[in-house]
Structure 1
């Protein structure tokens, strides 16, 4: 944002931050009710900044880690961008339109083996989710850092390395949902989208900045992405052609907050992006937009996209629009730097002990 505009908007940010600080103070003092769940541990993954910190792949890492510990996790999200209201447990009959693109991606990623539900009211949503999936031994809350009505067992805060919360302002002057002081609620802070060669000195400098707001003993961890080979998007013509390899000329379709890391990966892998159809985060693609993309697609070219965007492309209403387009998504997995994975595991392990043998 332009620095002059930022300065002009700061008074409005201060007012908004004051309102949110008052709300947080009421929760901290117990004057507004916050619910803890004795039935199962609740792990919240969220951020202070609007959009683009990598919540979905970190939630996937957490779910996989819990499964490896013999746990049976369930996922609860608000379901941002869906066209429904209230609580909803995802089934094979749902779509991004009914549960939201990220929950639908998570439902498909785990093959329907992990209960995935959406609810604006997380407290009511957890109760209903545990009733629907009583075998669950953990609930993972996706994007619930500001949802103070639920008091999580473990609170994980994400912050992008290139756009750290400690260098940002509250809306509208910046992109923070609340003041930097909100980091004090975190039990772990993960700096995301880091380059694999981020130096120890740089990590130490970032850690010092985070600890200006987070509690002193809270671990500050660093993560990046590993990108997999292109995967055909079901319902498209991708299954009829070979996956594009490095050196290929491709089209790129994104509806995410920060496509920069993906663009950097494609460039490093040798792909040449002939056309980038870029839309806002959670954008609901239309048939007209896909027709315009198809008009740009030359013989021999394929369309690359993200896994989250692929979830929205599988809307039944778009079936005819994508049937002749060869669309592949690039899968991503979280990779921790240095000893970050071991430190996060040591934080989680006391809450989720390995099952007894014998």
Structure 2
């Protein structure tokens, strides 16, 4: 792996030149960014994926939805539609993409929209009556055509951006200096018992600016798996023979949480569009066993498999400590607009 990285480093240098020039032009005002009078919160990362953006977006939705009219805006990765779309009762994963459809399915009371042109998407959302009071941009850290008022940067434990390289030698979309744009940095997917000493070691590596706070979160798995009509206790499911299916960037924690020695684990590419053949293959492996998948994969599979056969395991973001401090920082930002 190190040898391959060394071979690719010259190409990473070219990538750095392009992204550095782009950021320089935005930073100096040569390229213009749209700003809005409504609070806009951008969630993203420096790497290519697998940092837990969806759970963090859902955390903010839960924090804000009972206090403000909120909207989420995503590009709708791998959707089979184009342009601006506002989710309604006809929505599905093909129309919105898996993550926005997941947001809409769980929080139908909020506005969920997709548009690759984030400036247009925000403008369209603000034309609604009543208009949103807060807009959350999902996976928009590098989308500099919009200048958000508040940036939340995510980096995964065990794969922090300080230890990574630019594409293609590594997984970074832009150089580590891009972290300077963040208001808050969250190290995600941490062990729940991560010590204070280890946290400080990671903070030292990240080298945050004086104004940047660093927080640590873990993935909290639900105690129940669900489908459209019933649920099973997770402890019971762990002991059952089953098939585990995941089409996410880093599926191993999901597998490790549920699997036993008799289980089959089927891995697909992130945001995989399950074909009829894929479904037949899964059912052939499963036979009389249940299939348990991630929440993101469930929204793409639920209309293609028997309801009583397919279950999903919900997850949430859980702060190891200082969660209230994070909440206050977000709420204080919003209050500054009122």
CA distance in 2, matches of 1:3, 1:104: 39
Say which SS state the counterpart of residue 237 (structure 2) adopts. Answer: coil
* 1:215 and 2:209 aligned: yes
Paired residues of 1:247 and 1:272 also in contact (CA < 8 A): no
Match of residue 291 from structure 1: 280
* 1:345 and 2:327 aligned: yes
Say which SS state the counterpart of residue 352 (structure 1) adopts. Answer: helix
Structure 1 residues 187 and 273: alpha-carbon distance in aligned structure 2, compared to 1, 3 A threshold: farther
Structure 1 residues 207 and 241: alpha-carbon distance in aligned structure 2, compared to 1, 3 A threshold: closer
Match of residue 140 from structure 1: 136
Deviation of 1:3 (Å): 0.6
Please report the TM-score for the alignment, with normalisation by the length of structure 1.
Answer: 0.90
Paired residues of 1:53 and 1:160 also in contact (CA < 8 A): yes
Match of residue 280 from structure 1: 269
Say which SS state the counterpart of residue 216 (structure 1) adopts. Answer: coil
Q: Deviations over 1:126-155 (max 9, x none)?
A: 000111353311000000000001111110
Structure 1 residues 324 and 107: alpha-carbon distance in aligned structure 2, compared to 1, 3 A threshold: closer
Match of residue 169 from structure 1: 165
Superposition pairs of residues 186-201 of structure 1, within 5 angstroms = 186-201=182-197
Say which SS state the counterpart of residue 149 (structure 1) adopts. Answer: coil
Comparing 344-353 with 166-175, greater Cα deviation is found at 344-353
CA distance in 1, matches of 2:221, 2:64: 22
Deviation of 1:298 (Å): 3.8
Match of residue 309 from structure 2: 326
Structure 1 residues 273 and 194: alpha-carbon distance in aligned structure 2, compared to 1, 3 A threshold: farther
Paired residues of 1:241 and 1:326 also in contact (CA < 8 A): no
CA distance in 2, matches of 1:200, 1:32: 42
Match of residue 262 from structure 1: 254
CA distance in 1, matches of 2:287, 2:240: 12
Deviation of 1:290 (Å): 1.1
Q: How many residues align?
A: 337
* 1:104 and 2:93 aligned: no
Unaligned runs of 5+ in 1: none
CA distance in 1, matches of 2:241, 2:52: 27
Paired residues of 1:252 and 1:305 also in contact (CA < 8 A): yes
Match of residue 298 from structure 2: 310
Structure 1 residues 20 and 241: alpha-carbon distance in aligned structure 2, compared to 1, 3 A threshold: closer
Q: Deviations over 1:17-74 (max 9, x none)?
A: 1110100000001110011101x10000000101111000100000111124x11110
CA distance in 2, matches of 1:233, 1:331: 11
Deviation of 1:351 (Å): 2.2
Paired residues of 2:79 and 2:96 also in contact (CA < 8 A): yes
Deviation of 1:248 (Å): 1.3
CA distance in 2, matches of 1:198, 1:353: 33
CA distance in 2, matches of 1:219, 1:27: 24
CA distance in 2, matches of 1:261, 1:353: 37
Q: Deviations over 1:265-290 (max 9, x none)?
A: 225xxx45521111010000011111
Q: Which runs of structure 1 show a deviation greater than 4 angstroms over 4 or more consecutive aligned residues?
A: 238-244
Match of residue 149 from structure 1: 145
Please report the TM-score for the alignment, with normalisation by the length of structure 2.
Answer: 0.95
CA distance in 2, matches of 1:353, 1:59: 19
Q: Deviations over 1:174-229 (max 9, x none)?
A: 11111111000000000000001101111001011111xx4222001000011113
Match of residue 83 from structure 1: 80
Paired residues of 1:250 and 1:274 also in contact (CA < 8 A): yes
Structure 1 residues 249 and 135: alpha-carbon distance in aligned structure 2, compared to 1, 3 A threshold: same
